[in-house]
Chain A
């Protein structure tokens, strides 16, 4: 039977249950992980990216480097409707 859960400030998610499945990662995948290591440091360049966005009634792709020349705040959050 589904059990009620209390909604909190993290987006509710699930996951595998029972025995932990053995995951054999192909070599290319682990190499890719290496590449994606966080490279964030103050005084260093902000990694550029493009992402789809909702802006005042429209959908558009936004690229961080379009904001060069301006002070920019980039904010991440756990999910829409997460209360705080």
Chain B
């Protein structure tokens, strides 16, 4: 979503993005001219008249589970967004019984918060696990 019109979205997709992604952008390219949606989400820069790089993870119940906002010159990390969605999906499937420690990604250990784990995380989880190998 940006403040551009759907006509500009079409030009950008058809003339540039479709040359990077086969078949073009597969999801809706939303237009928010006037920035009203961006204002509601707190990412509209009224001085510049544009929206900043805000990204919101919304779960199947319509609840915001996470967000990230960057200023214009730095692009996002799509892999990190996907990792976060995978982590939230795991937590949701376990109905909150499991939690994903720092640096978790699919295949890495999760933690089961409870009375027995209090003060004992250091025994089962090492800081090296927070990083990619």
Question: Which residues in A have some Cβ–Cβ distance to B below 8 Å?
Answer: 8-11, 13, 15, 36, 38-49, 51-56, 59-60, 62, 64-65, 67-82, 84
Q: Among the listed stretches B65-73, B106-114, B118-126, which one makes contact with chain A, having 4 or more residues with CB under 8 Å of it?
A: B65-73
Q: Would you call B31 and A52 a contact (CB within 8 A)?
A: yes
Asked if B83 CB lies within 8 Å of chain A CBs, one says no
In the complex, whether B29 has a CB less than 8 A from a CB of chain A is yes
B30 touching A51, Cβ below 8 Å? yes
B residues contacting the other copy or chain, number (CB 8 A): 60
Task: Name 19 interchain pairs, CB-CB below 8 A, sorted by A.
Answer: A8-B73, A9-B73, A10-B73, A13-B49, A13-B50, A15-B47, A38-B42, A43-B63, A43-B65, A44-B63, A51-B32, A51-B37, A56-B26, A59-B6, A71-B59, A72-B57, A79-B3, A79-B4, A84-B74
Flag if A71 contacts B72 (CB, 8 Å): no
Tell me if A's interface is mostly helix, strand, loop or mixed.
Answer: loop
CA distance A9 to B73 in the complex (A): 5
Q: Is the CB of A76 within 8 A of B41?
A: yes
Q: How far is the CB of A49 from chain B (nearest CB, A)?
A: 5
What are the residues of chain A within 8 A of B59 when measuring CB–CB? Answer: 71
Residue among A43, A54, A60, A67 with the most chain B CB within 10 A?
A54
Residues of A within 8 A of B81 (CB): 73
Q: Which 5 A-B pairs have the closest CB atoms?
A: A38-B42, A53-B28, A84-B75, A80-B12, A54-B9
